[in-house]
Structure 1
Amino acid sequence: MDNARTSSLVISVAIAAGAVLVFTGAISQQKDVPPQFEAAVKRVLVDVTVFDKKGRFVPDLTIDDFEILEEGRPVDLSFFALEKFRKALPVRPTENGAVSKEDQMPPELAEAALLPRYMVLFVDGFNTSPPDWDNVRYALNDYLDKHVQENDRLLLATLTPTRKLLVGPEFTRDVNSLKRLINQLATDPSIKERERQNKQDLLTLLYDDSNQLSALNVAGESIGSDAQGNVANEANILRQGANLAEVFAGQRKDEILYTLNSMTSLAEHLSRTFDVPGPKTMIMVSGGISENPGSVYYYILDARLDQASAEARVDAPMAAEHPVAFRQPHAQTIDTYLLRAIGHLNRMNYTLYTIGARGTMIGAFDDVTDRFRSNLTPGISSIAYRDEEAGLEILSRGTGGLAFHNSANFFGAFERIDHDTAFRYVLGYAPPERADNANPDKFYRIQVKVDRKHVNVRARRGYVGS
């Protein structure tokens, strides 16, 4: 299984979103192993990591130290396990090669059985440019060379620029085969140029004096050149800008929803195809998943609106809203879709770690060949830049993982993931009886509490009913 058929990627078949999802049971240090689950949720498994203020895993907790609330109500815990995925703590030795006493493996971890660590490397080539991918690729290859252990099993998957989901045929620890595949992956060379051109088109419409459409009213009739006509011209420009921004934002929203669907379909396909016990980690490298797709176009509209006359804003009443002009409340926000993706990943026992491939904002300004320079202030430009990766953080936190974005330290990101996935607790409980168990889209919120001071607790935040 480890080394077979790892020399090529294959197109996954029978990946259908919305099909029945299945939980996988965690491996316990006890003799009783939770069974795999059918369509209805019979037992909820919650992976929990607990770290002290120095970033060290806290290994001496018992089931009595934990409390789980589902939809605000305590549940009875029926399963508890401490799981180990590294032979040694991921710490740096001192100059003489020794490990300090406080960094040595605690007895609770030293005595625990070493379990297989299953990791899915998901490269979002659909939303990532080649230069950005190259920066992450070097760090990923370094991670494979330095951090993969004998008990690690990895699988590579990618969403291509042509919207094909390609999946490796097996979980493997054949690092050389994985690196060959990684170096062959394709990303989208046009994604940044497409966004740049969209912004130029919008700026041209809003600021180009030769815009002939501004002199026509909504009925296609010519508007006069007097003061009243000038106001009407400006209002027309604002309305046209609103329509164009809505088109661009809608296109971006469709792209992101397709990516979310591909990610959850991948997790479902792997759950159906491979008998993988215990928790699984998915590392997603992406150029961005925005919580508010296309927000940069609305920020551009806001800036133009600030420059418009009061009369023009009145004449174009839909332009009176701030911030984010013209947008109906939550029209482009995809929080519901993000929550649904989180619920499905949690149901299939995946913890998601995301790496924003775009790095820092350095170099993210206008092209010198652009006809119109951005009308955004540096502060708003920075907000718009960060908006493109906000969805990655929401996804990671919702599944109990971490997000690494607005940073070029990709090597450090992979090291942190290796450290973060070394140990964990697994808690299980039977969900309470309720009338809405059959609702497939219902997201049941989970909160984990630990009876220990000065610790950092991270766990998945909920799941979907089916």
Structure 2
Amino acid sequence: MTHLRARSRSTIMVTALLVVASVMPGAQQKHAPPIVIETVQVNIVNVEIVVTDREGRSISGLESGDFEVFEDGKPIRITNFYAAVGGRPAPPPGAPSPAGEAVQEQAAPTPEAQALGLVFFIDNANLTISRRTAIFEQVRSLLRQGLQTGGAQVLLATSGGAVRIRQPFTSDEQALLAAVEHLEHEVGEARGGSERNPLLTRLMGSAAAPAEAGTSGGRGISSQDFDRQNALSIREDVRSAAEEAYQQTRVTLNALTQFVDSLAGLPGRKALVYVGEGVPMRPGEALLQEWEAAFRNYDPTFNAVAEAGRYAVNREFGEMIRRANSARVTFYCVDGSPDSGSAGVSAERASMTADPTSSIMNAHNLRQSLESMAGATGGRTLAAGPNLATTLARTVEDFQTYYSLGYAAPHIGDGKYHEIEVRVKREGARTRYREGYLDRAPDERTAERNLSALLFGTVSNPLGLAVTVAPAEKQKGDTFMVTLSITVPLGNLVFLPREEVHEGSVSLWMATRDADDRLSAPGKKTFPVRIPNDQLQSALGQLGSFTFQMLVNKGPQRVAVTLRDELSQTDSTAVASFTTDAAATGATGPT
């Protein structure tokens, strides 16, 4: 079980640099011929696109020439093209269709770059408890059908401010359904709109029962003054509730953004099924509007809409969407609101408000956040109603029948957001795809792979990196100091000849997760690697070693280390698990 939090209590301190064992003297290489290393980096952008007719049915059989791609308004040549039908690679145009049992045998395997990672994200912070049973039925149905997509792996996660991985990626249907059953009845972190109800009840009660005429108590306070003081007191409570909701929403969005970033380090397509009522874009606005409707006479200058602007999270929400697009994450939003699929507001909600318009606007704004998540990333919104079964079926079609267009971007890691437009040369065709992407810098992409290895165990290790952990030394309180030894075969690195040495450069990223599932963000350190010319041949058969110390909390720990050879731009990742009561367990070497 994993939590993603914005901050960590783990501290990493560098205590030693590269150590290369002594080697026997060899021949001098002062006049070694120059070595030329050419590193070619290409930034390939893949855009998954769903093409449907006017009735929403998938259109298959299209070819590369049927598409046009534009980035920032400029035409881009398509270099890679992939078509899938029914979860399998589409046969080449004109190829005869295999019949009968031969279909399954002849079906080509799904390429890794097109494998589907299906993530169910249950937003307990924005999901009403009473809606869980109905919503989880939709989750089960979509899960079962999604597993029919070739090579699909499913992960379950929940959020109550922090993200918790409840079932790691698997294709085991029984394990997934068992985890869903457990989550359906686990409501400890589920809140939804329940925190708002006591304050709303007090607000409405005060509005409906003003103080009696005359004075109140022995202070000579008129009933009108008493009512005004009561109204202003409630307004301060409303403002406090709005601030609390604002901070909670920011925590949720930051955790979701970090989770999306971790998915960026995984290969293939990622479909994130968001289950919740939506993200309040202006938390507390509905309460402020209800106060204004009930007590506007006591402060005619008060403007709920203007004040709610202080609590807007549009910037954080927009950043999360941009990063989802960069990570090839498509949102499919299961609308968990009690009013999804209906035109109005439930009687229960309407009876608890002085201004029914505010509840209608609040429900509309929440639903609009779902539509924004889905629309900007090329997904769908699934709302309860008579057409839900059809929507579920067509959502699965999205997973299985689509096109992937690849092109070489004219920039690499410029840190800017680039808009994408795709046109189809087919009359009446409709398209859905991500609207753009943030071109992450190389360091950021490496950090994402490091975080993915820590959370999901996806390790690529072409350089033969290894990590071992020495026994921990107790420090103050419940903290411990542990020493990490990181080794890599020097023969797997690239070195350039200088006057007296051969020189290389490596960068290291490390992230940790403790027993309480707190994460440290991956941090980068860069080290020069120098080998005397007369020791080069011997050194290339040995290991380079780095030693670090970490201050960690008591209990089980997990650390992911990523090393990048700066000259070859090749990176490797290794993961080690250990406890503060023993030496390393499960340290990883070459894979």
The alignment's TM-score, normalised by the length of structure 2, stands at: 0.56
**Equivalent position SS for 1:247:** helix
Greater RCO, 1 or 2 (C-alpha within 8 Å, sep 6+): 1
**Change beyond 3 A, Cα 1:243–1:431:** farther
Which structure 1 residue ranges, 5 or more long, are not aligned?
1-9, 18-36, 90-104, 216-221
Counterparts of 1:418 and 1:375, CA distance in 2: 42
* Other-structure match for 2:194: 193
What's the CA shift for 1:287? Answer: 3.1
* Other-structure match for 2:242: 249
* Other-structure match for 1:122: 121
Measured on the aligned residues, the alpha-carbon RMSD in Å equals 4.0
Q: 1:399 aligns with which of 347, 352, 377?
A: 377
**Change beyond 3 A, Cα 1:144–1:438:** closer
What's the CA shift for 1:352? Answer: 1.1
**Change beyond 3 A, Cα 1:271–1:304:** same
What's the CA shift for 1:204? Answer: 4.5
Alignment of 1:298-309 (within 5 A): 298-304=288-294, 308-309=296-297
8 Å CA contact 2:330–2:378 kept in 1: the answer is: yes
**Equivalent position SS for 2:378:** coil
**Equivalent position SS for 1:191:** coil
What's the CA shift for 1:391? Answer: 1.4
* Other-structure match for 1:86: 86
1:264 and 2:257 correspond: yes
* Other-structure match for 1:461: 435
**Equivalent position SS for 1:389:** helix
Q: 2:178 aligns with which of 177, 180, 186?
A: 180
What's the CA shift for 1:209? Answer: 2.4
* Other-structure match for 1:332: 311
- Counterpart of 2:175, as a letter, is S
Counterparts of 2:252 and 2:182, CA distance in 1: 20
Q: Which aligned runs of 4 or more in structure 1 are off by greater than 4 angstroms?
A: 12-17, 105-114, 204-208, 222-225, 232-242, 406-413
Alignment of 1:58-457 (within 5 A): 58-71=59-72, 73-84=73-84, 86=86, 113=108, 115=110, 116-145=115-144, 148-149=147-148, 151-161=150-160, 163-169=162-168, 171-185=169-183, 186-187=186-187, 188-204=189-205, 208-210=209-211, 225=222, 240=233, 242-272=235-265, 274=266, 276=267, 278-304=268-294, 308-309=296-297, 313=299, 316-317=300-301, 319=302, 321=303, 324-327=304-307, 330-360=309-339, 364-366=346-348, 373-377=352-356, 379-405=357-383, 407=385, 411-433=389-411, 438-439=414-415, 442-457=416-431
8 Å CA contact 2:149–2:399 kept in 1: the answer is: no
**Equivalent position SS for 1:78:** coil
- Counterpart of 1:49, as a letter, is V
What's the CA shift for 1:241? Answer: 5.2
What's the CA shift for 1:346? Answer: 1.2
What's the CA shift for 1:155? Answer: 2.4
Counterparts of 2:396 and 2:54, CA distance in 1: 18
* Other-structure match for 2:23: none
8 Å CA contact 1:359–1:405 kept in 2: the answer is: no
Counterparts of 1:87 and 1:350, CA distance in 2: 18
**Change beyond 3 A, Cα 1:411–1:61:** closer
8 Å CA contact 2:272–2:329 kept in 1: the answer is: yes
What's the CA shift for 1:375? Answer: 0.9
What's the CA shift for 1:285? Answer: 1.1
Higher Rg of the two aligned structures:
2
**Change beyond 3 A, Cα 1:432–1:239:** farther
What's the CA shift for 1:160? Answer: 4.5
Which structure 2 residue ranges, 5 or more long, are not aligned?
9-39, 99-106, 441-591
What's the CA shift for 1:394? Answer: 0.8
* Other-structure match for 2:53: 52
The alignment's TM-score, normalised by the length of structure 1, stands at: 0.69
What's the CA shift for 1:401? Answer: 0.5
**Change beyond 3 A, Cα 1:409–1:128:** farther
- Counterpart of 1:332, as a letter, is Y
Percent identity reads 18
- Counterpart of 2:254, as a letter, is N
8 Å CA contact 1:125–1:158 kept in 2: the answer is: no
8 Å CA contact 1:359–1:407 kept in 2: the answer is: no
CA displacement, residues 342-364 of structure 1 (integer Å, 9 cap, x when unaligned): 11111111111010122426884
8 Å CA contact 1:283–1:352 kept in 2: the answer is: yes
What's the CA shift for 1:136? Answer: 1.7
Counterparts of 2:60 and 2:163, CA distance in 1: 42
Counterparts of 2:360 and 2:339, CA distance in 1: 10
